[in-house]
Amino acid sequence: STDGGRNLSLDSIPMGLPMSDPSAWATAMNNLGMAPMGMTGQPLLPDFDPALGMMTGIPPINPMMPGLGIVPPPIPPDMPAVKEIIHCKSCTLFPPNPHLPPPATRERPPGCKTVFVGGLPENGTEQIIMEVFEQCGEVIAIRKSKKNFCHIRFAEEFMVDKALYLSGYRIRLGSSTDKKDTGRLHVDFAQARDDLYEWECKQRMLAREERHRRRLAEERFRPPSPPPVVHYSDHECSVVAEKLKDDTKFSEAIQTLLTWIERGEVNRRTANNFYSMIQSANSHIRRLVNEKAAHEKEMEEAKEKFKLALSGILVQFEQIVAVYHSASKQKAWDHFTKAQRKNISVWCKQAEEIRNIHNDELMGIRREEEMEMSDEEIEDPSEMKETEESALVSQVEALKEENDSLRWQLDAYRNEVELLRQEHGKATRDEDTTKEQQMKLLQQALQGMQKHLLKVQEEYKKREAELEKVKEDKLKIETLLENLKEQESSTSRVCACSQEKECPVEKTLSNSPVKSEREVLLVGIISTFLHVHPFGASIEYICSYLQRLDSKICTAEVEVLMTRLQNTFRQELSGVGASLEKRWKFCGFDGLKMT
């Protein structure tokens, strides 16, 4: 852990090494960013703050770094690391030249606990190596070679970083100056299979813990499973029937009923009970419709309240804007300072923007209401035809479903007849008479079902024929519309040619019943409209259609124009008595033959 890296205790290692200067080891540990500790595990500086280094430019320990945050931080080139002489029992370590660059190291392997130590004295023994490096932590194993290097494996990863700090030190055994008793230490990371294996085991353990934690979190946030539905019995059936009558328990009971039906609990014995429960469920439809109507009424009232409140807010905004405009007039504007005028103008712009936004919102609400009203009042004849076709299609589908249900019932009756025949051979003579009666009744029922099935099939064929007729009529109407469009295009060409011609053409136009291009366009539009209405239309209905295109058109102008064109339009009376009605019809095709 990080605390173990910062508060390293060496009480378990009995050592009594003489130190010429206690601050040397403190300085060395401070350069690593760790709290200075004595050889016995006691802090050398009790007021040391681990977040601050004793030297400037050395950042604090980062716990997320490899080796549990004990990797030595980078030292600036202009700030040499201060390393002191370290005295041990059998040897002395002299620091390298502070002006030299730090020794190079290889890339740190994952989970590294083993270091390579080179440059050992020829006379160095494992005991001297243990004496030097056990100050960095617990040493598990030392593998020494004959060529003045060894591998040291520590108990924890952070101890490797402490050992790397000794890289570059010159070692001298005792007070000898012989070459065999001196050397320059080079400490570097070493790659070991044991370290990699332990690191992989640790990573797998962390992954297992993470998966376990995620599984617990998912189980905590997973919604609880619904309660199981009880099996059908007479007692449970009566309980569910009572719950269906209660509005508060209806949703629970209807779910139970649905599950029973899907499980196949319905049979001849329980059919009556299920029918009564379905009837109880059907009785709630009126209640739900009433609730929906009440909610819709509340929504309409809330809309009205919101509209009234918005209109009141708009009135107040108008008053505020009026105040700003009156203050901006010359009579009052001259008495304000420059800063006051600037504030008033800014406030006026803000108030006008907010007022315009609210006004657009209110106009949008009113527009939506008008659109809803117009959609309810105006019904397009093409939509009426589509609704008729959809109604016929729905009737055909209903007849198909009824036909299928009748077939299923017929199969069920046939199965029952076969069962009765099998039982007939096994039963006694006394039961023969009753079973014969049942057979007769079932045969009569089968005959009735077959007759009904034939009737339904005939009705289905009639409906299909009607649907085909409607489709043919629709195709005819579409062809007539295309013809009318071609007539309109031809009339427009005739009008264009008539404008290019000179006085003799104007004389012929003055003699014709159509006196202007506008009347020609009206005649074409009225002809198209009446062609779609083969039974005729009243003058008010025609004018209401034309006023959608041009609101300036009046009824008298249209009626005079249609009376002049007797070969194109014909007026007929329909109805008797009070229901007498004048209808205009298009007779252009007959008039063309007459003229």
Highest average pLDDT, of 252-266, 371-385, 387-401, comes from 252-266
pLDDT at 154 over 90: yes
Half-sphere exposure of 150 (CA within 13 A, CB side): 20
% of the chain surpassing 90 pLDDT: 19
* Gyration radius of the chain over CA positions: 52
Alpha-carbon distance values, 580 to 542, 583, 587 (Å): 18, 10, 21
Dist CA 384 CA 488 (whole Å): 26
Mind giving me the DSSP string for 312-355?
HHHHHHHHHHHHHHHHTSHHHHTTS-HHHHHHHHHHHHHHHHHH
Say what the pLDDT of residue 141 is.
93
Across 419-472, where does the E strand assignment appear?
A: none
Q: What is the mean pLDDT of residues 35-49?
A: 45
Q: What is the mean pLDDT of residues 464-469?
A: 89
CA dihedral (510, 514, 520, 523) in degrees, to 10, reads 180
pLDDT at 36 over 70: no
Confidence of residue 42 (pLDDT cuts 50, 70, 90): very low
Least confident range of 62-76, 137-151, 191-205: 62-76
Dist CA 344 CA 329 (whole Å): 12
pLDDT at 291 over 60: yes
Q: How far apart are the first and last CA of the chain?
A: 111
% of the chain surpassing 70 pLDDT: 79
Say what the pLDDT of residue 498 is.
58
pLDDT at 46 over 70: no
pLDDT at 19 over 50: no
pLDDT at 270 over 80: yes
pLDDT at 202 over 90: yes
Say what the pLDDT of residue 73 is.
43
Contact between residue 75 and residue 154 where contact means Cβ atoms under 8 Å apart: no
Q: What is the mean pLDDT of residues 568-582?
A: 78
pLDDT at 577 over 90: no
Least confident range of 20-34, 55-69, 136-150: 55-69
Confidence of residue 25 (pLDDT cuts 50, 70, 90): very low
